[in-house]
Amino acid sequence: MRKTRIIQLSTLIVASALIAVMLLSDSAYAITNGEPDAGRHPYVGLIVCDDSPGHPAWRGTGILLSPTVVLTAGHVTDGAVAARVWFYEDVTYDHVPFPLYPYGGPGSGAIEGTPYTNPDFAIGVGKGVPGFDYRDVGIVVLSEPVPMSEYGLLPTAGLVDTLPVMTNVDLVGYGVQYQVQPRNVGGPRGAWTGPRVRNYAPAKLLSGNFAWSDEFIRVTANPGQDKGGTAFGDSGGPVLLGGTRTILAVNSYVTNANCAGETYHSRIDIPEVLEWIEGFF
């Protein structure tokens, strides 16, 4: 699956993620209605993946769990032969040797890594939205350690099932921030833009009682009441339990090109998923 496609099922599914942003676009694709992260989540980084040796092709967001293990979405790592990660808050051309290699290479500050995709990851495994995506979890193992004073924390198994509706969550990512033209002009990606920076926004957990709640959580995405949402390029970024470093899920997809309404995020508190992730430590 190419990371730039819009997938048509019975409902339009748009990656808010689910499409990790193509590097060939001139627009810089972050958290909608958010604000600069300002040091809140230094363990969240920008990931760029190669679809062939030396050819950067798409990007997403990831969460450092240890000095060498980065958690992200499966659709970010799927099909990648290599990856690199930056932990700058602002990953612009000021940090990289443009135009020789705008997304990595010597002196760019990127850490090279090897991508892995959950073996159960699948796209289009059933009908409609419930069957659209499954086990959307990936890992990048870095070639050298990134020492930090704190890292993202894995949840206990089944934690999401204990949380009440409207629990506070925090969203972090490097995706688009605002629309600059009608969504039908230039396609969904072309309607969005924003600087390539790490942004943060608070949101709310919606009801966990829906058809595919055993694999995903739903989060509010509408602006207002100090809430934000995820958009293109936030793929793989964390949904954190509000005010903590505990990761409930990773950003996966939305159901409309405005990246509004509600968003879907792949749970990592599933015992089999946790076991797979912990195998990289």
Q: Which domains are delineated in the chain?
A: 1-281 (2.40.10.120)
Instruction: Tell me the CA end-to-end span of the chain in Å, nearest whole number.
Output: 29
Picking from 116, 122, 109, the residue whose alpha carbon sits closest to that of residue 82 is 116
pTM of the model: 0.79
| 3-state SS class at 270 | coil
Picking from 152, 255, 166, the residue whose alpha carbon sits closest to that of residue 219 is 166
162-205 residue pLDDT tens: 999 999 999 888 865 555 555 444 444 444 444 567 888 888 89
pLDDT at 99: 37
- Contact of 67 with 147, CB cutoff 8 Å: yes
Beta bridge partners of 218: 264
- Contact of 110 with 208, CB cutoff 8 Å: no
pLDDT at 192: 46
190-201 residue pLDDT tens: 444 445 678 888
- Distances in Å between the Cα of 195 and the Cα atoms of 8, 23, 274 are 28, 14, 33
pLDDT at 133: 78
pLDDT at 117: 97
- Contact of 145 with 68, CB cutoff 8 Å: yes
pLDDT at 33: 52
Instruction: Spell out, as residue ranges, where the chain has pLDDT lower than 50.
Output: 1-32, 94-102, 106, 183-194, 225-233, 256-260
Q: Where are the beta strands (DSSP E) in the chain?
A: 7-8, 12-13, 21-22, 35-36, 44-52, 55-64, 69-72, 82-86, 111-117, 122-123, 133-134, 138-142, 168-173, 178-179, 192-193, 199-204, 216-220, 238-241, 247-254, 262-267
- Contact of 95 with 88, CB cutoff 8 Å: yes
- Distances in Å between the Cα of 181 and the Cα atoms of 8, 22, 25, 41, 155 are 22, 19, 16, 31, 39
